[in-house]
């Protein structure tokens, strides 16, 4: 009987020892080496273990090859990251999702700036999120810029036929400065992506580059104004518009004033009206993506571009105001809304006032004639 009790006691002791050595245990700051992909990292582990290896839930703290502290917190299996968890680096990088055999299997990866850069599916990268989106956006912007450039080039060629001359190839820029004696002012300028000279005369202005020259008579010009930066905008009576870049930029406003002054002198001497067809003012504008000019008449507003013409009579207008992004918004009694982006946008408030004033003048004139 005593022998049997002895044997049973020994078996219980052996079983207890086996459970202690095999079953899960809680540890804190245990130094271990963990395999992550093709590399191994040594660090401190806190959590549950089995057979001396991390198992279940725990946290592993270590330092990478560049000396940056990081940690993994989540599921473990057979000493490897396995299950739901996250790995975070001191600099801000983060991996979060489902891990398998030590690596992210399904989840997302963020860089140090908190930007989502990759998404994992079944152990493979299926999208490099924001980097990919940025690349697509850059391509789209590049295509749009190319289309705009081509469109502007063809438009300029059409303008040359209407207003300009093509004297043939010039040998050098030295010929640019061989103008007639009555030139009033000259400067370096850019037109149609070529550098040349802009010259002011008593009845016209011209631009002469290495390959082409253009001449614009004051009798054809409706308005000249500063288009922003170093650009001057010239709007013609036939609704065409061109842009010339002035160098140096600091003289742009001076050139706008000089051209407008000379146009005034020319009109006074020739007794020509300053505007045609009762145009009160005009400015470059965009309606949606259509670029053109906005004209203010005595009885209406008119937007004219290559592909579109919109006429808004004053009696139809119920409100005019400056709207979001400094745009000009016009609403009619019939429920239509028109939005124009003016260039330069700093002229928006001025135009709101001009339209209100002209609407009031038109109303007073109407009542006077009909009462």
CB atoms within 10 A of CB 132: 12
- What are the backbone dihedrals phi and psi of residue 192, each rounded to the nearest 5 degrees, phi first? 60, 40
pLDDT of residue 239: 75
Amino acid 160: pLDDT: 45
The DSSP string of 79-90 is TEEEEEEEEEET
- State whether CATH 3.40.640.10 applies to domain 165-270: no
Does residue 105 contact residue 91 with C-beta atoms inside 8 Å?
no
Instruction: Tell me the C-alpha distance between 61 and 84, whole Å.
Output: 17
CA distance linking residue 319 with residue 197, whole number of Å? 45
The β-bridge relationship of strands 309-313 and 317-322 is unpaired
- State the pLDDT at residue 146: 86
What local confidence, expressed as pLDDT, does residue 292 receive?
82
Domain 16-125: give its CATH code: 2.20.110
Separation CA 161–CA 174 (nearest Å): 25
- The helix (H) or strand (E) run that includes residue 118 is strand 116-121
The full DSSP string for 62-117 is EE-TTS-EEEEEEEEETTEEEEEEEEEETTS-EEEEEEETTEEEEEEEE-TTS-EE
Structure tokens at 284: 């470059």
User: Are 84 and 91 spatial neighbours (Cβ–Cβ below 8 Å)?
Assistant: no
Among 161, 283, 138, which residue's Cα sits nearest to residue 223?
283
Per-residue pLDDT of the chain (371 residues; tens, 9 = 90+): 666 666 666 666 665 555 545 556 889 999 999 988 888 899 999 999 998 899 999 999 999 888 899 999 999 999 999 999 999 999 899 999 999 988 999 999 998 888 888 888 888 876 655 556 667 778 898 888 888 777 766 655 554 444 343 433 333 333 343 445 688 999 999 987 888 899 999 889 999 887 778 889 998 888 888 877 888 989 888 778 889 999 888 999 999 999 999 988 888 787 655 445 578 888 888 888 788 888 898 889 998 887 788 999 999 999 999 988 789 999 999 899 999 998 878 889 999 999 999 888 877 765 555 54
| Beta-bridge mates of residue 247 | 188
Locate the domains of the chain by residue range: 16-125, 165-270, 281-370
Residues 6+ apart with CB under 8 A from 199: 179, 183, 185, 186, 205, 206, 207, 208
Which positions ≥6 away from 19 have C-beta within 8 Å? Answer: none
Q: 281-370 in CATH: which number?
A: 2.30.29.30
Closest CA to 204 of 240, 231, 166, 165: 165
CB 247 within 8 A of CB 188: yes
pTM equals: 0.44
pLDDT computed for residue 81 by the predictor: 94
Q: Same fold for the domain at 165-270 and the one at 281-370?
A: yes
How far is residue 199's CA from residue 230's CA, in Å, rounded to a whole number?
16
């Amino acid at each position: 009987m005593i022998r049997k009790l002895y044997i049973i006691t020994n078996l219980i002791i052996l079983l207890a020892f086996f459970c202690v050595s095999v079953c899960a245990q809680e540890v804190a700051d245990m130094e271990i080496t963990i395999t992550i992909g093709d590399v191994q990292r040594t660090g401190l582990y806190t959590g549950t273990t089995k057979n001396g290896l991390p198992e279940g839930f725990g946290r592993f703290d270590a330092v990478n090859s560049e000396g940056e502290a990081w940690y993994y917190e989540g599921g473990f299996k057979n000493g490897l990251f396995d299950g739901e968890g996250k790995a975070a680096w001191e600099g801000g990088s983060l991996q979060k999702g489902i891990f398998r055999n030590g690596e992210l299997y399904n989840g997302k990866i963020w860089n140090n700036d908190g930007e989502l850069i990759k998404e994992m599916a079944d152990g493979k990268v299926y999208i490099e999120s924001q980097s990919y989106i940025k690349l697509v956006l850059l391509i789209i912007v590049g295509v749009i810029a190319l289309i705009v450039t081509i469109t502007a080039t063809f438009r300029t060629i059409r303008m040359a036929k209407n207003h300009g001359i093509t004297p043939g190839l010039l040998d050098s820029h030295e010929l640019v400065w061989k103008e007639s004696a009555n030139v009033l002012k000259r400067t370096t300028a850019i037109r149609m992506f070529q550098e040349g000279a802009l010259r002011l005369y008593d009845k016209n202005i011209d631009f002469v580059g290495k390959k082409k020259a253009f001449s614009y008579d004051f009798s054809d010009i409706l308005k000249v104004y500063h288009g922003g930066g170093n650009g001057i905008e010239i709007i013609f009576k036939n609704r065409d518009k061109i842009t010339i870049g002035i160098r140096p930029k600091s003289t742009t406003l001076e050139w706008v004033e000089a051209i407008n002054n000379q146009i005034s002198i020319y009109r006074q001497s020739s007794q020509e009206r300053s505007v045609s067809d009762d145009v009160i003012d005009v400015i470059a504008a965009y309606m949606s993506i259509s670029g053109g000019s906005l004209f203010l008449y005595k009885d209406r507003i008119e937007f004219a571009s290559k592909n579109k013409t919109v006429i808004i009579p004053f009696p139809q207008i119920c409100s005019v105001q400056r709207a979001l992004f400094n745009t000009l918004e016009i609403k009619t009694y019939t429920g239509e809304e028109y939005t124009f982006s003016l260039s330069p946008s700093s002229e928006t408030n001025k135009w709101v006032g001009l339209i209100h004033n002209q609407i009031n003048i038109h109303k007073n004139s109407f009542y006077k004639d009909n009462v």
